């Protein structure tokens, strides 16, 4: 089984379509989504509808969860009138009933025989698993050999091999247009496929992966998209300027 792994689309439909065109030239059998289809960019309904058509297994992202909270209580909470709250409130008002119902099917965590998935980390769903110490802290909670996570928007591997002398760790970033990683025998691995809609590793390219369950191989792809068109959408629709600026630097 080959799994198309997507994360952090963030209503960037232009980047999402670019990823799906690229993925259409690969071979995959089903889809795993690691959370945050909404937030930040101007096409939440199109992105949610497109994702729904893929019939993915999905975990709940923090932006997804906040939007669902706003549906029940549109008054500002702890975030106040932050950029995140401002955008999600707009998204709440333009999502269809079908799309909201779809978001409500997202799970806090998924676990299968050979892998598990969550948005942030195993310790806390909104924790950023963004450093070796955070990977080390989450290792005792790992029930399988592989945990797929999102949230950081940075494609990365944290791999641990347990030996009689202690744990040996390796971190593997993915910055090129294509990379292949074969899961080491007996290793425990945290894998982040990066973000479809808002890269944050200094590489302004969308990111996705394909995981081959049988071969235990991960393929990571970076995909160009029409960045200027997304920036134009942001500005024409009155979204915060910072969202347009950060795309061109991948931050």
What is the three-class DSSP state of 181?
A: strand
Domains located in the chain, CATH noted: 2-249 (3.60.21.10)
Query: How much of the chain exceeds pLDDT 90, in percent?
Result: 92
Mean pLDDT of 132-144: 97
Pairing of strands 217-223, 166-173: unpaired
Residue 143 near residue 181 (C-beta atoms within 8 A): no
Mean pLDDT of 86-110: 97
Q: In this model, does residue 218 exceed pLDDT 60?
A: yes
Entry pTM: 0.95
- Cα–Cα distance measured from residue 183 to residue 176, given in angstroms and rounded to the nearest whole number: 19
As to burial, measured by CB atoms within 10 angstroms (0-12 exposed, 13-18 middle, 19+ buried), residue 169 is middle
User: Quick one: pLDDT at residue 77?
Assistant: 56
Listed residue (23, 10, 53, 61) closest to 208, CA to CA: 23
Q: What is the pLDDT of residues 142-184, one digit of tens each?
A: 999 999 999 999 999 999 998 878 899 999 999 899 999 999 9
Tokens representing 21 are: 């065109």
Residue 120 near residue 126 (C-beta atoms within 8 A): yes
Mean pLDDT of 83-106: 96
When the pLDDT of each residue in the chain is averaged and rounded to a whole number, the result is: 95
> What are the distances in angstroms from CA 199 to CA 22, 40, 70, 88, 249?
17, 12, 26, 19, 9
Q: In this model, does residue 214 exceed pLDDT 90?
A: yes
Tokens representing 239 are: 């979204």
- Cα–Cα distance measured from residue 44 to residue 134, given in angstroms and rounded to the nearest whole number: 31
- Cα–Cα distance measured from residue 250 to residue 206, given in angstroms and rounded to the nearest whole number: 9
Phi and psi of 78, rounded to 5°? -60, -25
User: Quick one: pLDDT at residue 143?
Assistant: 95
Listed residue (58, 69, 190, 199) closest to 123, CA to CA: 190
- Cα–Cα distance measured from residue 220 to residue 179, given in angstroms and rounded to the nearest whole number: 5
Listed residue (147, 219, 205) closest to 175, CA to CA: 205
Q: What is the pLDDT of residues 38-82, one digit of tens each?
A: 999 999 999 999 999 999 999 999 999 999 999 988 765 554 568
Pairing of strands 187-192, 146-148: parallel
């Amino acid at each position: 089984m080959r799994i198309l792994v997507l994360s952090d689309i963030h209503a960037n439909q232009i980047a999402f379509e670019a990823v799906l065109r690229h993925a259409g030239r690969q071979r995959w059998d089903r889809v795993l989504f690691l959370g945050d289809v909404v937030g930040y960019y101007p096409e939440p309904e199109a992105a949610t509808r497109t994702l729904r058509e893929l019939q993915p297994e999905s975990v709940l992202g923090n932006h997804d969860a906040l939007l669902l909270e706003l549906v029940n209580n549109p008054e500002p909470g702890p975030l106040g009138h932050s950029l995140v709250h401002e955008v999600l409130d707009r998204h709440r008002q333009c999502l269809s009933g079908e799309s909201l119902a779809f978001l409500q099917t997202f799970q806090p965590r998924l676990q299968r025989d050979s892998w598990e998935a969550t948005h942030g980390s195993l310790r806390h769903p909104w924790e950023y698993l963004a450093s070796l110490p955070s990977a080390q802290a989450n290792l005792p909670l790992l029930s399988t050999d592989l945990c797929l996570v999102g949230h950081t928007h940075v494609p990365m591997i944290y791999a641990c091999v347990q030996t009689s002398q202690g744990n040996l760790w390796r971190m593997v970033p993915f910055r090129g247009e294509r990379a292949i990683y074969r899961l080491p025998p007996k290793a425990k691995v945290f894998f982040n496929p990066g973000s479809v809609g808002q890269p944050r590793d200094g590489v302004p390219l969308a990111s996705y992966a394909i995981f081959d369950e049988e071969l235990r191989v991960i393929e990571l792809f970076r995909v160009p998209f029409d960045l200027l068109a997304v920036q134009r959408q942001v500005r024409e629709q009155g979204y915060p300027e910072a969202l347009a600026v950060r795309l061109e630097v991948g931050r």
